Amino acid sequence: MSDRSPHASQVWAELLRGAKHSRIELWLAVLFLLSGVIGLVAILSAGAFSNNGAGVFWIAWTLAGCYLFVRIWRRTIGVARARAYAQAHGLEPLIYRRADHYPGMLFTHDAARIIEGVRTLSRHFVEIGNFEHFQDPMQLRPFGYVRMSLPRHVPHIAVVARRNGPLLPFDMKRTQRLSLEGDFDRHFTLYAPARYETDALHIFSPDVMERFLADAPGFTCELVDDELYLYSRKPLDIGGRMTIERIEHLLRPLAAKLGHQLDLYADDRVPDDVAHPIAPGGRRLVGPVATAGAMIAVSVLLILVRIYLLRG
Amino acid sequence: MAGLVVLIVLVAALVMWWRLNVSIVRLHSRVDEAWSDVLAQLQRRADLVPSLVELVRGYVTHEETVLRQMVEAWSGLLHAQDPGRAADAEAELSRAVHATYAVSERYPQLRASSNFLHLQRELVHTEDKVVASRRFYNGAVREFNSHIATWPGSSVAHRHGWQTAEFFTATTAAADPPVVDLGR
């Protein structure tokens, strides 16, 4: 992908050409905001600002209008920029597209939808975009992501950036966490399926880890099937020069190093004639299960309390 | 009421003790698992050495010392029992294998042999796997050791006789073998 940003006129043209419902949304937000401003001006000129909380009402109305307008404007302009960028660089634009068939953990969580994104047209693709879980009211904020095809299938590996917080949809089972040397553990937590630890460390060689520490401190990374995902808590400015430069700066050497590590990678547990190159145990990480210890402890406590109460 | 509180505290302490013990056992079994992985990778690497020796012997006539060193290192690796000795033997074998690569530079026919190139590639790949398994093992040991060295894990470990595990670290100068460039 080239780092040349689309020209403002191209973005504007895409904005005008964009989906009808986006323009309607934008106009509604403008009307909402304008009605608030008009209401505020009217009560100010009538000297009725403090009558029955009218002032507070119209201020709240105007602020809500501002919020709505900024939010819809940002989204609409983001979509237009992505379209313009895709148009200018011969990429496929991905606008408001369902993505729950992607194997990445964040996409399989509820109904995932790409808001805006671009993808290279080659077989070994790179895709950059923002997505949201549109049926989950707790996940209204969009996330940024980068998706890249890998030369071969790999076990499921997650490298969770600590500064990203609980970005992934579930906590991993603790036994899948790997302790790593150096500074890496302070910034990232690496998870690999049981019995695939060596494979994960073979793929995440010290070179690759160094690359991560230097260039991707805020990204959570996931390797699943034959794809790599980088997730960012902040949405990415698709078509923005800085974003594309940063992603390229990160992806180019990372892809080269990963390619080198994957060059001879094969899952030793799978015979040559089996269709899937990774054994079932290595294909997906698993979430935590309720520990037997906690269940026993609670049961014992309940029994004790019951005995005590019966005796009393 | 006070009796119930004491009872609850006692049960909570017992559960905590039990959980700590379980986590130590789990971490120790992970160390064992990682160690068996290291051994598997070392064995895999050792299995390639006789083929390399035979192949090189077919082309090289005046380099018996290098081959002997490789066989000795290989034998040392096969007989190493604990992580320290295995790491030393592994480092020694790496040095011997890399010395063989250096010798092969003087024999263009050997360098051109597809078998030699294949073996060299396999050895480098296996070496990568050994490094990965060593990192897994050392990570597991680090976690286990820090768990039993800090309270309250230390109390449980002391009571049950758990001792710190040994890292897989070479003590000889051959710990960092030279890098081989296969033109990639």
* Segment A228-286, tens digit of pLDDT: 999 988 888 887 777 878 888 888 888 888 888 888 788 888 877 677 788 888 888 88
Q: How many other C-beta atoms can be found within 10 angstroms of the C-beta atom of residue B29?
A: 12
| B119, B45 Cβ separation under 8 angstroms | no
Q: What 3-state DSSP class applies to B4?
A: helix
Q: What is the CA radius of gyration of chain A?
A: 25
Note the pLDDT of residue B180. 43
Distance CA A288, CA A168 (A): 13
* Residue B130 token pair: 């050994």
- Using CA atoms, how far residue A108 sits from A115, A148, A304, in Å, is 16, 17, 43
DSSP B67-117: HHHHHHHHHHHHH--SHHHHHHHHHHHHHHHHHHHHHHTT-HHHHH-HHHH
Taking CB atoms and an 8 Å cutoff, what residues of chain B touch A305? 4
Phi-psi region of B176 (alpha: psi -120 to 50; beta: other; left: phi over 0): beta
Question: Greatest CA span in chain A, whole angstroms?
Answer: 84
Task: Chain B: give the shortest CA distance to residue A304, in Å.
Answer: 8
Check whether B102 has a pLDDT greater than 70: yes
> A255 and A127 in contact (C-beta within 8 Å)?
no
Q: What are residue A221's DSSP bridge partners?
A: A159, A230
A265 phi, psi to nearest 5 deg = -70, 135
Tally of CB atoms within 10 A around A189? 19
User: Parallel, antiparallel, or unpaired: how do β-strands A112-119 and A92-98 relate?
Assistant: antiparallel
Nearest Cα to A246, choosing from A261, A268, A230? Answer: A230
Q: Report whether pLDDT(A225) > 70.
A: yes
Mutate which of B135, B168, B169, B179 to disrupt the A interface (most A C-beta within 10 Å)?
B135
The verdict on a CB contact (< 8 Å) between A304 and B128 is: no
What is the overall mean pLDDT for chain A? 82
**With an 8 Å Cβ cutoff, are A202 and B7 in contact?**
no
- By Cβ distance, the residue of B15, B33, B139 closest to A178 is B139
Q: Are B140 and A293 within 8 A, CB to CB?
A: no
Q: In this predicted model, which residue has the larger pLDDT, A153 or B60? A: A153
Please tell me which of the candidates A179, A304, A305 has its beta carbon nearest to residue B140. A179
Residue A226 in this model has a pLDDT that exceeds 50 = yes
Q: Give the ipTM of the model, two decimals please.
A: 0.75
| Tokens standing for residue A131 | 């997505």
pLDDT (0 to 100) of residue A290: 57
Tell me the β-bridge partners of A190.
A159, A178
Hey, which residues 153-212 in chain A have their CB within 8 Å of chain B?
175, 178-181, 195, 197-199, 201-202, 205
Q: Which residues of A touch B18 (CB under 8 A)?
A: 293
pLDDT for residue B174: 45
Q: Could you tell me which CATH number the domain at B29-175 has?
A: 1.20.1440.20
Hey, where are the domains in chain B? 29-175
* Average of per-residue pLDDT across A19-32: 82
User: pLDDT confidence of B171, banded at 50, 70, 90?
Assistant: low
pLDDT digits (tens, 9 = 90+) for A143-162: 899 999 998 899 999 998 88
Q: Which residues contact A67 (CB under 8 A, 6 or more apart)?
A: none
Q: Mean pLDDT score of chain B, rounded to an integer?
A: 83
What residue in B sits closest to A262 (Cα-Cα)? B125
| CB atoms B8 and A301 under 8 Å | yes
Task: Please tell me the distance in Å from B65's CA to the nearest CA on chain A.
Answer: 32
Which among A189, A69, A78, A92 is positioned nearest to A142, based on CA atoms? A78
* Record: contact B136-A300, CB cut-off 8 A: no
Q: Test A180 with B7 for CB contact under 8 angstroms.
A: no
Best residue of A177, A184, A202 to probe chain B, by most B CBs closer than 10 Å: A202
Cα of first residue to Cα of last residue in chain A, in angstroms, is 76
**Cα(B180)–Cα(A3) distance, rounded to whole angstroms?**
35
Looking at residue B39, the DSSP 8-state letter turns out to be H
What 3-state DSSP class applies to A154? strand
B34: contact with A, CB 8 A cutoff: yes
Average pLDDT over residues B123-148: 89
User: Measuring CA to CA, how many Å separate A90 from each of A86, A237, A246?
Assistant: 6, 18, 20
Judging contacts by C-beta atoms under 8 Å, the chain B residues touching residue A205 are 128, 131-132
Distance between CA atoms of B14 and A305, rounded to whole angstroms? 16
State the burial class of residue B123 (Cβ atoms within 10 Å of its Cβ: 0-12, 13-18, 19+).
buried
The gap from C-alpha A61 to its chain's centroid, in whole angstroms, comes to 32
Residue B129, chain A, CB below 8 Å: the answer is yes
pLDDT over 90 at B161, yes or no: no
pLDDT computed for residue A224 by the predictor? 93
Arithmetic mean of pLDDT, B158-181: 68
Segment A178-213, tens digit of pLDDT: 888 777 888 888 999 988 999 999 888 888 888 888
From CA A298, how far away is CA B57, in angstroms rounded? 69
Q: Does B111 or B139 have the greater pLDDT score?
A: B139
**Quick one: tokens of A156?**
């499921």
> Which is higher by pLDDT, B82 or A6?
B82
Tokens of A104: 């990445």
More confident residue, A28 or A301: A28
* Beta carbons of A175 and B26 less than 8 Å apart: yes
pLDDT recorded at residue A166: 63
Q: Which of A143, A112, A111 is nearest to A130 (CA)?
A: A143
Angle between helices A54-89 and A8-17 (to 10 degrees): 110
